[in-house]
Amino acid sequence: GIQVEQSPPDLILQEGANSTLRCNFSDSVNNLQWFHQNPWGQLINLFYIPSGTKQNGRLSATTVATERYSLLYISSSQTTDSGVYFCAPGKGSARQLTFGSGTQLTVLP
């Protein structure tokens, strides 16, 4: 199966700072999703981004499928951004997604 490596594993930021989270994967993919898991365990889909760049408010994501990586940018971070960010690449349909181990983000007030 696909190997997924997310970095950094842990990140602590002051409110207002910017950050970049990285996801490397071992094989070609045609499906990639980023999720945020809040401290209560709820997983929220942030982006479906098998290639290219998307933006949603303070968040944006870029996937370079040919080089097997994806980046998630968080600008002007807020305490509510805290939680775990998961990258999940896959071949084909959603059931073939492989989740990484996540980046634990803590935003301090």
Partner 1 sequence: GAGVSQTPSNKVTEKGKYVELRCDPISGHTALYWYRQSLGQGPEFLIYFQGTGAADDSGLPNDRFFAVRPEGSVSTLKIQRTERGDSAMYLCASSPGGAGANVLTFGAGSRLTVL
Residues that bind partner 1 (CB under 8 A): 4, 31, 33, 35, 40-45, 48, 86, 88, 93-97, 99-102
Distance of closest approach, residue 103 Cβ to partner 1, in angstroms:
11
Q: Would you say 35 or 105 has its CB closer to partner 1?
A: 35
Q: Would you say 31 or 75 has its CB closer to partner 1?
A: 31
Distance of closest approach, residue 98 Cβ to partner 1, in angstroms:
8
- Token duo for residue 62: 């870029």
Distance of closest approach, residue 55 Cβ to partner 1, in angstroms:
17
Q: Would you say 43 or 71 has its CB closer to partner 1?
A: 43
- Token duo for residue 72: 């998630």
d(CA 65, CA 85): 19
Distance of closest approach, residue 86 Cβ to partner 1, in angstroms:
5
